[in-house]
């Protein structure tokens, strides 16, 4: 037997696209600035933002309001050198670091060189060249 909680039964109604509609306290201009900053590949200055929005608004005031709105969120709106962008909240930045090991295949020359270093260490570059029978650097020959 499956029990369904009353909370699930009383969830907000979905609209026709099956998307839950949440109340928003942003006006059209604020939403446009938010969308422009979100989609930008790099931080934007106020003039660039003003050139992309559909109506004349006080962009600096809007940015300050958005900065306040996002101040306690997982992403924050920040300004560095008069350019604005969304960034991961400082206290959550450790979640974004990822250690990733990538295996790369070494060339035959690299394997030979490492083998010589392991076997003969300490060894100089000249000694490695002599053992391998190749010259890495340019040597002038005197005739």
Q: In whole angstroms, what is the distance from residue 45 CA to residue 54 CA?
A: 17
- Three-class secondary structure of residue 32 per DSSP: helix
The two three-digit tokens of residue 99, written as one number:
């250690």
The CATH number assigned to the domain with range 105-137 reads 1.10.10.10
Percent of the chain scoring above 90 in pLDDT = 48
pLDDT tens-digit profile of 44-95? 999 999 999 998 999 999 999 999 989 888 999 999 999 999 999 988 888 8
Give the residue-averaged pLDDT of 117-143.
Answer: 77
Domain-by-domain residue ranges, the chain? 25-90, 105-137
20 vs 50 pLDDT, higher one: 50
Topology alike, domains 25-90 and 105-137: yes
Write the class of the CATH domain 25-90: mainly alpha
Question: How does DSSP assign 52-103, residue by residue?
Answer: HSSS---HHHHHHHHHHHTTTSSEEEEEETTEEEEEE-GGGGGGT-------
Calculate the CA 78 to chain-centre distance. 15
């Amino acid at each position: 037997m499956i029990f369904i909680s009353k909370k699930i039964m009383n969830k907000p109604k979905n609209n026709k696209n099956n998307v839950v509609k949440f109340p928003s306290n942003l006006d059209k201009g604020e939403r446009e600035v938010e969308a422009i900053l979100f989609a930008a590949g790099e931080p934007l200055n106020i003039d660039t933002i003003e050139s992309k929005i559909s109506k004349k608004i006080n962009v600096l005031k809007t940015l300050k309001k958005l900065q306040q709105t996002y101040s306690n969120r997982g992403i924050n709106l920040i300004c560095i050198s008069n350019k604005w962008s969304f960034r991961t909240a400082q206290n959550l930045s450790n979640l974004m670091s990822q250690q990733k090991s990538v295996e790369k295949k070494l060339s035959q020359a690299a394997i030979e060189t490492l083998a010589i270093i392991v076997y003969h260490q300490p060894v100089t570059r000249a000694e490695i060249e002599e053992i391998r029978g190749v010259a890495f650097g340019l040597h002038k020959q005197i005739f």
